[in-house]
Structure 1
């Protein structure tokens, strides 16, 4: 009888550890997915901002040339 009680407790402990491990893994996977999505969108946003910045620099250069031409 005592042996069965011990086996039952051991099985419960193993079940708790397994559930905790699975929960930890799921949380880790969820974090990795969120990081991946964030970095994907973040890098895309950075590329867009860099393109816009380059376009604005060109526009400023064009305006400066126009101002110089008008002043001459």
Structure 2
């Protein structure tokens, strides 16, 4: 999913993101603003993933939520 699309729909997607990455706070998700790079960075930090793993997770998340 294109970052611009994700940013535009981010408020609707926050609930699903919270379900996917429960250790991230609402504040962190809000500050990510739907930007894939910010979200991947948060996942990398919080879950100890490599950058590539975090980017893949975020890409899968956005791809699976295209219908929002």
TM range (shorter): under 0.3
TM-score (norm 2): 0.27
Please tell me whether Structure 1 or Structure 2 has the larger radius of gyration of its CA atoms.
1
Report 1 or 2 for greater relative contact order, CA contacts < 8 Å, sequence distance ≥ 6: 2
Per residue, is there more helix in 1 or in 2? Answer: 1
